[in-house]
Amino acid sequence: MFENGLHTIGRCFLLIISCLFVNCFLVRGQSEAQISQYMFGFETFNPASIAENDEINIFGLQRLQWIGMPNAPQTTFFAANMPLKLSGKVHNAGLIFYNDKAGIFSTQSVNMQYAYKFRLGEGSLSFGGNIGFVNQTIHGDSVRDVASDYHNIQGDGKIPSQSVNAMAVDFSCGAWYNAKNWYAGVSMLHVFEPTFQLDDNIESFIGRVFYLTGGCEMPLINERFRFYPSFLYKTDFISFQAEIDARLEMDKKYWGGIGWRYQDAVILFLGINLSNGLSGGYAFDLPTSKFIVNSAGSHELFLRFSFKLGTKKLNKYKSVRVL
């Protein structure tokens, strides 16, 4: 088992390195909302992963990015999903809400999620999709008017003088494979690139974003500990982000880890599995780019509650003294 874990980790890191070299000449930047503890919230970017544990899941995440910078991004996710077995087949369904604020832009979306799961080889394969609505707002009344001899925003028809918003239909899809001690997934968000006609002069859109992720569980000599390496790669085909992480879990209850996001940040995270399916975690991002001059880092918290539906069995007593 130990050797199998080593081979699995080797395959994971080869894939990471390949992704980095394929895109070594691209410009780097953030396109979609950033999440450091992605390994606990796959449903935020891959609908095929919902209810993969065959349980009802309730998930919430709050992220405050680049503390100290004016109008820095703030992101909220809330999701709920569950398995539905119909005619011997496994269908997973869920709902996810997303709210992101960055600068003068804010985006909210509500999506229904669905995934179809079946056995394949040593594990299970799922295909899934999101469909729902996304709303985008430009807070034109929050634009800073900076004095300049080269540009006057007061006369710029492309900058609204007040808040404007529009709504569009959105669709995302993904695939997810889960085996005994490893997993992998691919997904595409905003497949049809929703477009927003904010007013007569302003049009905006959200571009497609491709995700690739994978990880494994590696048992150690001391059975109290488990080692979980993972990676996340995403691109909007203009810029990209790549991240590798390593998490150590003790007694299936406490964990801590470290990650590295290419040309962006070092990530420290820790968490705990509480009783009755409740778990929570915290992550801190320390910028390694020029953002470190103006930012005290990023903070992220998540909570997850997972449980199975079932009827509680009542103990029966013959004694009339126990009612």
Domain ranges of the chain: 2-307
d(CA 218, CA 288): 29
Handedness of CA 290, 32, 44, 26 (dihedral sign): negative
Task: Tell me if residue 47 falls in helix, strand or coil.
Answer: helix
Structure confidence at residue 164 (pLDDT):
85
Structure confidence at residue 26 (pLDDT):
34
Write the DSSP symbol of residue 318.
Answer: -
One-letter identity of residue 66: W
Structure confidence at residue 195 (pLDDT):
93
Structure confidence at residue 147 (pLDDT):
61
Closest CA to 184 of 233, 219, 245, 218: 233
Q: Do the beta carbons of residue 177 and residue 120 sit within 8 Å?
A: yes
Specify the CATH number of the domain 2-307: 2.40.160
> What are the distances in angstroms from CA 280 to CA 181, 227, 270?
22, 18, 9
Token duo for residue 109? 């979306």
- The rounded average pLDDT for each run of 10 residues, N- to C-terminus, in the chain (323 residues) is 46 45 38 88 97 95 91 94 87 96 91 96 95 90 63 61 86 96 97 88 89 95 95 94 96 96 94 92 92 85 91 44 41
Residue in the structure block whose two tokens are 């087949």 = 89
- Strand ranges inside the chain, DSSP E: 56-64, 74-86, 89-102, 105-120, 123-139, 163-178, 182-189, 195-197, 203-205, 209-216, 218-219, 225-235, 240-250, 254-261, 265-273, 278-287, 298-307
The DSSP bridge pattern shows strands 163-178 and 123-139 to be antiparallel
Token duo for residue 254? 């406490």
d(CA 50, CA 43): 6
d(CA 182, CA 186): 14
d(CA 49, CA 43): 6
Residues 6+ apart with CB under 8 A from 191: 171, 172, 173, 208
**Cα–chain center distance at 252:** 22
d(CA 20, CA 201): 39
